[in-house]
Structure 1
Amino acid sequence: MSATAAGGDTAVDCRSNSSALQAAIAAAAPGAKLTVQGTCTGPFTIGKALTLIGRKQAVLDGNHTGTTVTISAAVQVRLTRLTITGGQGGQGGGIRNSGGTLTVTHSTVTGNSSTGPGGGGIYNESGTVTVEDSTLAKNTSTGTGGGIRNQGTLTVKSTSVHHNTAQTLGGGIDNVSPSTMMVSRSKVHHNTVNTVNGGGIFNDGTATVDYSEVSDNTSPVGSGGGIRVTGANGRLTLNHTLVRHNTTAATGGGVSVGANAVATLNDSKVRNNTASNGGGVNVDPGGTATLNRTRVTDNTPNNCAPTGAVPGCIG
């Protein structure tokens, strides 16, 4: 049998039946745990509280016919030790969370694409998403958020977000106003936004980045090679964070602060970033950037722009 009870959990063996998982999800009682082996072919929809635990490199494959995993209700779902791939959705490629409380741990979200608003890897349409000890890599979006698009509450812990691509905003992560995002002890690197702003992170909501690194991201046309914060609700706080080796053809190689936005950099370093102006930090008219025990050094062609816009930083 492809789905059997084992130790109080339900074992789902996709090695003998690649379609077994969705049937097991439908049959499971709310709160059940499913242990998964093999490559399971989806897409999959979860509308009840469930935990899916991968064994021996288990894979959830969307088969390029929709979002690989959709959380369709306000329920608690946990995905752990899984590779989530092959998703191709209008809203969210790998995972779409619609009002649930989703936790993704020790997992890899890779090779997914979104053709809608965004979220090549994960689209948090509403609700709460926590990603911990995981990898989001090589996902793409024709909209925003190559790795993640957040419209709710997002926490990223001890996770690598890398080599994702978005067409318009946030190659790695797009945090949409008035959403909130916390990134801690993570690395956002080697992401690209093709046409607008925020190679690594685009934020017009509330974003805090703690003890992390934002590096080697690219915005070849727009502003903010590493991070772009903008808008009336745009609030960015960096704590003990390194922003380095990001590039943009426009302004703000490391951090770009738009009109009405506020950025506060505490105990951080912004170095070796490149832009047309404001290689380290650029502030648009009406924006505010504050440096507290933060060094902005060795950026090209200058550290901060316009001259005098960032107190404590010498252009």
Structure 2
Amino acid sequence: MLQSGEEMLRRHLSALALAVPMVAVLGIGSAAGAEPQVSIPCDVAALNSAITAANDNTGPHTIRLAPRCVYNVQTPASAGGLGANALPRITGTVTLLGRHTTIRRDPDASESFRIAEIDGPNGRLTVEGVTATGGGYLDYGGTYLPTDGGTLILRHSVVTNSTANVGGAIVVNQGSTLEVHDSVLRNSAAQQGGAIYNGPRSTTLLKHTRVEGNQATQFGGGIFTAGTSLTIKNSHISANRAFDQGGGIYNDRAPMDISSTTIADNRAGLMGGGIANYGTSTLTKSTVRRNSALNGGGIWQAPSFGVLNLVNSRIVDNTPNNCRPVGAVPACTS
């Protein structure tokens, strides 16, 4: 029997109404084709439990943190060979999604600990929309430590106010990987690598990132690299300080590729206000300006240690000179 147009429309609207609750239910957990997630309250114990479950594959790998929450950690949840950590060690795949969310070491905590250690070969931590602060007072990695082949990926995040002897904010250790996208690393301190220490056999990539206001008592106020590669794209390395060499960056005999990046207003006590280069490096479409040092205000290219190639780049307005020794950086005028 043929249905009238009005009756068919009623049946169609009725079917749509029945479907709506099903869509809402799928949205809470794992919508078809989406990664399962768990949302946790503003509670450190809940965060630790969710990370442990993700490590053990007994819970979702993606953890949605409480928005505008400060997860204030008073005592460490784990310890490794290189110090204690606010969170359980990351041994599996874990993603932390925040929205104006902070994870911090309590300013009154009596123990020294970083925020997170990511243990290879299977440890992989992705952090998005999170400020990590206050960690450290350790030998290695004040905030994050990917080690033994671990991977750390930061997106739209901030790392600040941390300290360690090596890698005030982050140490990339023993063949590990660091990626930092659209983030800020600021106001951290170390002897070497005020913000980042890119260690042997490790790789670091920075894109659309600011490294600013960090300091080192020795080398690499912003970044120290001795790794397999350091790649910096569309970023700013600014207002960092090293009391010895490499106010912005210290390259210890490693490959380094910098493009579309500004290195400005950094200082070094001795050489290389912007960059102290002891490796093979290329600067493409980049600017090194207003940096200062005792010598090599812009760039110090160590004799007999690699080369620094300039491709459509500008080294200008550095104090007391742009590049030293004279002639060590082709196309750089004093």
Considering the TM-score relative to the shorter chain, is it more than 0.5? yes
CA distance in 2, matches of 1:267, 1:31: 48
Deviation per CA, 1:14-40: give whole Å up to 9, x if none. Answer: 56xx6444445556772634xxxxxxx
Residue of structure 1 aligned with 2:70, choices 59, 65, 78: 59
Q: CA deviation at 1:12?
A: 3.7
Letter of the 2:192 counterpart: L
Instruction: Look up the match of 2:255.
Output: 235
Summarize the alignment of residues 168-187 of structure 1 with structure 2, pairs less than 5 Å apart.
168-187=191-210
Instruction: Look up the match of 1:121.
Output: 143
- Contact between 2:90 and 2:125, CA under 8 Å: does it hold in 1? no
Letter of the 2:104 counterpart: T
Q: Mark the CA change 1:27 to 1:312 in structure 2 (over 3 Å): closer, same or farther.
A: closer
Q: Once the two structures are aligned, what percentage of the paired residues are identical?
A: 32
- Contact between 1:110 and 1:121, CA under 8 Å: does it hold in 2? yes
Instruction: Look up the match of 2:86.
Output: 68
Which of the two has greater helix per residue? 2
Partner secondary structure for residue 55 of structure 1: coil
Instruction: Look up the match of 1:224.
Output: 246
2:94 aligned with 1:77: yes
Q: Normalising by structure 2, what TM-score?
A: 0.79
Instruction: Look up the match of 1:300.
Output: 319
Deviation per CA, 1:123-180: give whole Å up to 9, x if none. Answer: 1113111101000011111x211111112111100000000111x2100111001111
Partner secondary structure for residue 205 of structure 2: strand
Q: Mark the CA change 1:90 to 1:144 in structure 2 (over 3 Å): closer, same or farther.
A: farther
Deviation per CA, 1:218-254: give whole Å up to 9, x if none. Answer: 012x1000001012xx011110000000001110000
Deviation per CA, 1:175-226: give whole Å up to 9, x if none. Answer: 00111111000100000112x1000010011100000000000012x10000
Which of the two has greater strand per residue? 1
CA distance in 2, matches of 1:78, 1:30: 13
Q: Mark the CA change 1:71 to 1:197 in structure 2 (over 3 Å): closer, same or farther.
A: same
Structure 2 residues not aligned, in runs of 5+: 1-26, 30-36, 77-83
Structure 1 residues not aligned, in runs of 5+: 1-5, 34-49
- What value does the CA root-mean-square deviation take over the aligned residues? 2.3
CA distance in 1, matches of 2:252, 2:111: 26
Q: CA deviation at 1:62?
A: 2.8
Question: Rg bigger for which structure?
Answer: 2
Instruction: Look up the match of 1:105.
Output: 128
Q: CA deviation at 1:58?
A: 2.6
